[in-house]
């Protein structure tokens, strides 16, 4: 690769990075944080927290599960071999941009039937998942099949997936501030079999 090509590539990468940051900032300015605030006590008082999402949303929620575990919450990722049955007093945190992903909707149906509360993180409050939820947090991002580019120039559901991670990190930061446990104590729960 020539130096000119490397310079152009560096410029293009910087522009892509900035476009992603800008889209996330615009989305954050549009989020209604009242439902997010209502989620905080649900997490604090849940007997156990279960997270479920497909694809990159699922990966973002796995990262969320890790941070909630660092706070001392009992957290499980749906689909893992050691995840127990959900029941009354538990909370299912379910992420689906469309709110129609069949595996996520089925998990929410089962959780609700078992007496657990369901919280949906989605791009819409009008979906099968939202209908099952005690609380819906709407992230006004493009859905995977929205190829028009009016909400996001990024591929598929990238903006939604990124915003799920950023939102749940903000929830963690807020819970941590309320909890007051020093970082050194949280670190003791960090995985040591890496």
CA–chain centroid gap for 25, Å, is 16
Consecutive H or E run containing 183? helix 183-187
Q: Terminus-to-terminus CA distance in the chain, angstroms? A: 37
Q: Identify whether 161 is a catalytic site residue.
A: yes
Asked whether 143 and 157 are in contact (CB, 8 A), the reply is yes
Asked whether 110 and 89 are in contact (CB, 8 A), the reply is no
Determine which one of 23, 161, 185, 194 is catalytic.
Answer: 161
Asked whether 157 and 97 are in contact (CB, 8 A), the reply is yes
**Catalytic center residues:** 161
């Amino acid at each position: 690769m020539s130096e000119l090509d490397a310079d152009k590539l560096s410029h293009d990468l910087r522009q892509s990075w900035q476009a992603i940051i800008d889209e996330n900032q615009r989305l954050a300015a549009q989020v209604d944080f009242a439902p997010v605030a209502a989620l905080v006590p649900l997490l604090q008082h849940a007997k156990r927290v279960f997270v479920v999402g497909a694809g990159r949303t699922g990966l973002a929620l796995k990262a969320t599960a890790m941070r909630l575990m660092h706070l001392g919450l009992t957290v499980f990722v749906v689909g893992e071999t050691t995840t127990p049955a959900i029941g009354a007093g538990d909370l299912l945190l379910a992420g689906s941009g469309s709110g129609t992903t069949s595996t996520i909707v089925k998990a929410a149906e089962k959780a609700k039937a078992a007496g657990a509360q369901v919280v949906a993180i989605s791009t819409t409050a009008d979906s099968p998942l939202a209908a099952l939820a005690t609380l819906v947090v709407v992230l006004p991002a493009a859905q995977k099949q929205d190829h028009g580019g009016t909400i996001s120039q990024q591929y598929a559901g990238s903006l939604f997936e990124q915003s799920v991670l950023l939102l749940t990190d903000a929830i963690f930061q807020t819970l941590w501030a309320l909890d007051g446990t020093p970082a050194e104590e949280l670190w003791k729960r960090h995985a040591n079999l890496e």
